[in-house]
Amino acid sequence: MLEIVHVGDKVLRQIAEGVDLSTEKEYISHLIKEMIETVKNAGGVGLAAPQVGISKCLIIVKNPDADEFIPMINPEIVWKSFDKECMKEGCLSVLGEDGKPIHENVFRYTRIRVKYQDIDGQEHEDLIKNHLMARIVQHETDHLIGKLFIDYLEK
């Protein structure tokens, strides 16, 4: 199991490095397994590599329809719906004074298309129609550019 880092750790504000599966496949495959175990244990629905201190373009996203975790390597949102929706959102790296994740309302696109690679280097481009899953992908890909959901809140 991996340790989750919190606000204040500079890795959360860095631009993550692209994954090169031709040289890193074994390492990334191991990291995916550890990250899935970590997010499950924390009761989360998504996790980005920077949240475990690793500045790499890798996210784990729960598919709420199938109750499974999908690893997305080098993910990129290539299309966003016109519609947005506001919902409470939390992050395993953003804790309140009680040591538990805080939850705040954030607007997100309801549907997206995401391009990513799987561990075999296969390219995928998925239309995510499930609003919760689309939200998770937007939240996690933000982590790869050093952005946190609290950045959307009014000061």
Alpha-carbon distance values, 78 to 21, 33, 90, 111, 132 (Å): 21, 26, 24, 11, 18
End-to-end CA distance of the chain: 34
Which residues from 46-85 bind Zn ion, rule CB under 5 A?
A: none
Q: Which stretch binds Zn ion (CB under 5 A): 4-12, 80-88, 89-97, 114-122?
A: 89-97
Least distance in Å: CB of 55 to Zn ion? 15
Nearer to Zn ion among residue 21 and residue 92 (C-beta): 92
Least distance in Å: CB of 89 to Zn ion? 8
Among 54, 70, 91, 136, binds Zn ion (CB under 5 A): 91
Least distance in Å: CB of 81 to Zn ion? 21
Report, in angstroms and rounded to the nearest whole number, the Rg of the chain calculated over CA atoms: 15
**Active-site residue 140, yes or no?**
yes
DSSP structural state of residue 15: P
Task: For residue 150, report the phi and psi dihedrals to the nearest 5 degrees.
Answer: -70, -15
Q: Which stretch binds Zn ion (CB under 5 A): 24-32, 87-95, 110-118, 128-136?
A: 87-95
Instruction: Count the site residues for Zn ion by CB under 5 A.
Output: 1
- Kind plus residue range of the DSSP H or E element containing 75: strand 68-80
Q: What is the largest CA-CA distance in the chain?
A: 43
Residues near Zn ion (CB under 5 A): 91
- What residues act catalytically? 140
